Amino acid sequence: MHTTTNSDIHKLLHSLNFAAMKHNDQRRKDKDKSPYVNHLIGVAEILSRFGENDIIILQAAVLHDILEDTQTTGEELESAFGKEITGIVQEVSDDKSVEKEERKRLQVEHAPFISKKAKLIKLADKIMNVTDVGQNPPADWDTNRREKYFDWADSVVLGLRGHNREMENLYDTQVSEGRKRILKQRKN
Ligand code: ZN
């Protein structure tokens, strides 16, 4: 009898369910404090929308913040989802024992050398983040802080390019619209 337990759809829902439970008590930084899981779904949806429907990529996408932002360990992730997905999630995770500015610098430095799958996930993540900063920023982020975020994201994304032109175009559009909004706000 055919079982659906190992189907790609089930794998994706299993990952999403796992991530939703682990990020259960977390909210995003926007002024409406959106549920954290919205971000994870958004990142996976961007990848899928632009043709990246490899199941490993989509699973790693919904799990991409789980090591950085929850108590989940690498061993726990590996026993639930295997080595490949865990490896990708590790590639896109910052080392939280490192101070914040140094972590940001390391993202720029490491971006060109991570795997293609990790690059695509990181690009989708940055698309979501610059869209949030442009359209729905945290309440206490002034125009300078938003501009600095775009500058930093641009330098990370420089190292991620070359695998999905349409996603890169979406990133560029979101940043240029975000920057235009900043200029407009400064004039007023
Ligand atoms: Zn993220």
Q: Check pLDDT > 70 for residue 28.
A: yes
Confidence of residue 5 (pLDDT cuts 50, 70, 90): low
Catalytic residue ranges = 68-69
Across the chain, what does the average pLDDT equal? 95
- The H helix count followed by the E strand count for the chain is 10, 0
Which candidate, 122, 106, 181, 121, places its Cα nearest to that of 147?
A: 181
Cα 118 from Cα 116, distance rounded (Å): 5
Q: Rounded to an integer, what distance in angstroms lies between the CA atom of residue 163 and that of residue 54?
A: 14
Q: Is the pLDDT of residue 2 over 60?
A: no
For residues 11 and 59, give the distance between their C-alpha atoms in angstroms, rounded to a whole number. 7
Question: What separation in Å is there between the alpha carbon of 8 and the centre of ligand 1?
Answer: 22
Q: Are 111 and 153 in contact (CB under 8 A)?
A: no
| Arithmetic mean of pLDDT, 140-168 | 97
Which residues hold their Cβ within 5 A of ligand 1, which is an ion?
65, 125
Cα torsion 143, 145, 150, 155: sign: positive
Centroid of ligand 1 to alpha carbon of 47 (angstroms): 13
Half-sphere exposure in the Cβ direction for 169 (13 Å, CA): 4
Per the document, the length of the chain is: 188
Q: From the CA of 3, how far away is ligand 1's center (Å)?
A: 32
d(CA 174, CA 162): 18
Residue 179, C-beta contacts closer than 8 angstroms, at least 6 positions apart: 147, 150
Instruction: Please write the tens of the pLDDT for every residue from 55-110.
Output: 999 999 999 999 999 999 999 999 999 999 999 999 999 998 999 999 999 999 99
Q: How far is ligand 1, taken at its centre, from the CA of residue 92, in Å?
A: 9
Centre of ligand 1 to C-alpha 2, Å, is 35
**What is the Å distance from ligand 1's center to 98 Cα?**
18
Q: Can you list the domains of the chain with their CATH numbers? A: 6-187 (1.10.3210.10)
pLDDT value of position 4: 58
- What confidence score (pLDDT) does residue 24 get? 95
Does the predicted model carry a pTM greater than 0.85? yes
Contact 153, 125 (CB under 8 A): no
